[in-house]
């Protein structure tokens, strides 16, 4: 907010001063607690998804349960007008990512000091049976005094079954270049955070601006996390003076970076103990010490706030005043073309033409959404041919839709105007509502996407693909019951589409109903025997059902058919072989 804007006060206590950050669920504000005359940070949750709100509340409970000098403190939590707010201590400083990007000349002792504080913070979480799951330089603040603070427990989870169930999403959780291999191929373990800490420490010691696992693509990054062994630090730094120290650091990190969790350093505490010994050795070796001593580091906490349980406020007015920030479009140009072809095909269906392109487009859409990092290419000439041969019409509503299709990957705002114009010309034009749903889904604005899919279905409740896409949104919002209902309806309308069964299998997988995953993949394989994704999904389900021989057979078949994420499949095959030998 600028100085000319009205200053808003939340809960008659917190005066918003400016926006200091933005995340996937809302803004982070710097505010003044007028009761205490103290700066605080206020994190906003604008989402209406029950699952996201539940995670937001859980982050507050986690922060309240832990009082530690290296973990940000939570003070208050409240709701107003469908917005939730988490009040935390404000920490002046910069993120570790920013520190590394500035190429700050940190001494080796200072770098180890940061590593040790990270271990202390995560160890405190582990004592409370919490796994962070998203440790990365962006989530670590470094103060002027060199004290680090661990932030963002939004996707943290406890190790008990009750809270573990909350976070079963069926998708990868965390930042790909920092997560552990098991978070990609199976599920996190208690020492998954150890791997993430080790990756950050590796980056800090070498002064890298990015994770050593980061590549130019998501699939490449995930494959590298699973299969690539990082070179020992001692080989990356030619420093004869500290050669023995780097040798010891290499040994510690090698154990912490083990791909298999059972071989890895057991806990953040154990990793911290090992690094502390290296730190002491370095102090004995070098007379130039840090100003901050890891063991004697002081901390004086601010007064805790009395949390009122009935406090539920927020600021719809603030949200209305905020400048709309355009989200970064995550999908590639490939997906944009797929969306275009999809919309064009529906126009084509309204003209009672062939259904062939629909099935092909459906397959492309499902493949992109289901396979991490897999790219499906759509030829521009094919796109133009479909447009010219099948869709040219004098109907003005349809022409607006065609123009919207052409603008999807160039100018989304203009595309939206054409969708709206098509709806204005023909209020019962279900494809226009569906097209808006696709666009907002590509932006990951699932609430709006859901609204438009609902409108499309209200007009035309016999289109199987409408239900399929709405099922995807329900799945992304973790509304598994609604997702299953949509896929059931899509299959009832069109039981010949293998992708509908594959998509429903994805929901069953998220619910850990692996027998049903196998059943749906069986039905899909009868409709399409040459889709590698079917065998990959069924193979993973068999693996989790501990039917390792069947899992191996299906996974090998997926490789033979040309599955894109080969490294992940190969890793699962190796795990099958190990278990078969047992």
Report pLDDT digits (tens) over 145-197: 889 998 876 554 554 443 333 334 445 667 889 999 988 876 677 788 999 99
DSSP state of 3: T
Q: Between residues 338 and 566, which one has the greater pLDDT? A: 566
What are the structural domain ranges in the chain? 9-90, 94-285, 333-581
Q: Which of 297-306, 438-447, 452-461 has the lowest average pLDDT? A: 297-306
Per-residue pLDDT, 4:
46
Token digits of residue 20: 């200091």
Tell me, letter by letter, the H, E, C secondary structure of 376-415.
Answer: CCCCHHHHHHHHHHHHCCCCHHHHHHHHHHHHCCCCHHHH
Sheet holding 94-95, edge to edge: 94-95, 140-142, 148-150
| Cβ pair 188, 133 in contact under 8 A | yes
**CA 384, CA 367: separation in Å to the nearest integer?**
22
Question: Which residues, including other chains, have CB under 8 Å from residue 35's CB and lie 6 or more apart?
Answer: 13
Strands (E), 319-473: none
Q: Which residue has the tokens 């406890």?
A: 158
391 CB burial (10 A radius; 0-12, 13-18, 19+): buried
**CA 370, CA 336: separation in Å to the nearest integer?**
16
According to DSSP, the residues that pair with 335 across neighbouring strands are: none
Q: Please name the CATH architecture into which domain 9-90 falls.
A: 2-Layer Sandwich (3.30)
Superfamily of domain 94-285 in the CATH hierarchy: Transferase(Phosphotransferase) domain 1 (1.10.510.10)
According to DSSP, the residues that pair with 32 across neighbouring strands are: 15, 39
Decide if pLDDT at 103 tops 60. yes
Per-residue pLDDT, 408:
58
- In angstroms, the Cα distances linking 62 to 71, 81, 153, 302, 484 are 11, 24, 7, 18, 32
DSSP state of 65: H
Helix (H) or strand (E) holding 79: strand 74-80
Decide if pLDDT at 115 tops 60. yes
Per-residue pLDDT, 269:
92
Token digits of residue 549: 């021989």
Token digits of residue 45: 């949750």
Per-residue pLDDT, 196:
94
Q: Which residue has the tokens 């399409």?
A: 528
Token digits of residue 528: 């399409």
Q: Which of 5-19, 130-144, 304-318, 499-513 has the lowest average pLDDT? A: 304-318
Global pTM reads 0.51
| Cβ pair 164, 154 in contact under 8 A | no
100 CB burial (10 A radius; 0-12, 13-18, 19+): buried
Mean pLDDT of the region 228-239:
90
**CA 210, CA 65: separation in Å to the nearest integer?**
32
Q: What are phi and psi of 106, to 5 degrees?
A: -85, 145
* Catalytic (active site) residue 39: no
CA torsion 358-359-365-368 (nearest 10°) is -150
- Which pLDDT band holds residue 82 (cuts at 50, 70, 90)? confident
Token digits of residue 321: 């005043």
Per-residue pLDDT, 332:
40
**CA 443, CA 349: separation in Å to the nearest integer?**
26
547 CB burial (10 A radius; 0-12, 13-18, 19+): middle
Report pLDDT digits (tens) over 349-384: 444 333 333 333 333 333 323 332 332 233 333 323
According to DSSP, the residues that pair with 10 across neighbouring strands are: 14
Per-residue pLDDT, 253:
97
C-beta neighbour count of 326 within 10 angstroms: 8
CA torsion 421-408-169-454 (nearest 10°) is 20
Decide if pLDDT at 327 tops 70. no
Q: Please name the CATH architecture into which domain 333-581 falls.
A: Alpha Horseshoe (1.25)
3-state secondary structure of 84: strand
Mean pLDDT of the region 269-282:
93
Among 39, 50, 76, 134, the active-site one is 134
Per-residue pLDDT, 151:
82
């Amino acid at each position: 907010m600028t100085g000319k804007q009205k200053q808003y006060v939340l809960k008659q206590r917190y005066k918003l001063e400016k926006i200091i950050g933005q995340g996937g669920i809302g803004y982070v504000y710097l505010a003044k607690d007028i009761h205490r005359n103290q700066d605080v940070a206020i994190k906003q949750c604008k989402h209406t998804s029950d699952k996201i709100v539940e995670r937001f509340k859980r982050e507050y409970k986690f922060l309240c349960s832990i009082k530690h000098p290296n973990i940000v403190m939570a003070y208050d939590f409240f709701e107003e007008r469908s917005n939730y707010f988490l009040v935390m201590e404000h920490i002046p400083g910069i993120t570790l990512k920013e520190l590394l990007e500035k190429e700050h000349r940190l001494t080796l002792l200072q770098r180890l000091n940061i590593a040790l504080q990270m271990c202390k913070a995560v160890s405190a979480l582990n004592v409370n049976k919490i796994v962070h799951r998203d440790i990365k330089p962006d989530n670590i603040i470094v103060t002027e005094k060199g004290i680090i603070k661990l932030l963002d427990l939004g996707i943290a989870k406890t190790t008990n079954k009750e809270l573990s169930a909350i976070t079963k999403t069926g998708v990868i959780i965390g930042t790909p270049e920092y997560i552990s291999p098991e978070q990609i191929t199976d599920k996190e373990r208690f020492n998954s955070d150890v791997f993430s800490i080790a990756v950050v420490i590796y980056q800090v010691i070498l002064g890298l601006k990015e994770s050593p696992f980061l590549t130019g693509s998501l699939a490449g990054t995930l494959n590298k996390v699973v299969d690539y062994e990082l070179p020992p630090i001692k080989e990356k730094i030619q420093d004869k003076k500290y050669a023995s120290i780097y040798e010891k650091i290499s040994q510690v990190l090698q154990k912490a970076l083990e791909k298999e969790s059972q071989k890895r350093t057991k806990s953040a505490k154990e990793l911290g103990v090992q690094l502390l010994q290296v730190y002491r050795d370095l102090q004995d070796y070098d007379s130039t010490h840090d100003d901050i001593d890891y063991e004697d580091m002081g901390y004086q906490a601010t007064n805790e706030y009395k949390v009122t349980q009935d406090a539920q406020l927020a600021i719809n007015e603030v949200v209305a005043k905020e400048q709309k920030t355009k989200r970064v479009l995550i999908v590639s140009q490939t997906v944009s073309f797929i969306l275009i072809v999809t919309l064009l095909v529906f126009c084509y269906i309204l003209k009672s033409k062939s259904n062939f392109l629909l099935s092909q487009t459906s397959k492309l859409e499902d493949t992109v959404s289901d396979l991490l990092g897999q790219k499906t290419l759509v030829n521009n000439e094919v796109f133009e041919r479909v447009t010219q041969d099948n869709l040219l019409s004098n109907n003005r509503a349809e022409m607006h839709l065609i123009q919207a299709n052409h603008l999807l990957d160039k100018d989304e705002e203009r595309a939206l105007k054409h969708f709206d114009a098509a709806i204005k010309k023909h209020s019962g034009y279900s494809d226009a509502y569906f097209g808006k749903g696709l666009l907002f889904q590509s932006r990951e604005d699932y609430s709006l996407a859901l609204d438009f899919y609902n409108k499309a279905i209200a007009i035309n409740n016999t289109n199987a693909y409408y239900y399929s896409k709405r099922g995807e949104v329900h799945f992304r919002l973790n509304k598994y019951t609604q997702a299953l209902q949509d896929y059931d309806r899509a299959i009832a309308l069109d039981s010949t589409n293998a992708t509908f069964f594959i998509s429903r299998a994805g929901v069953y997988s998220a619910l850990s109903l692996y027998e049903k995953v196998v059943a749906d993949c069986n039905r899909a394989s009868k409709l399409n025997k040459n889709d590698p994704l079917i065998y990959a999904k069924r193979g993973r389900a068999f693996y989790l059902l501990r039917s390792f021989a069947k899992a191996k057979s299906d996974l090998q078949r997926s490789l033979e058919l040309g599955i894109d994420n080969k490294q992940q499949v190969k890793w699962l095959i190796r795990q099958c072989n190990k278990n078969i030998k047992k």
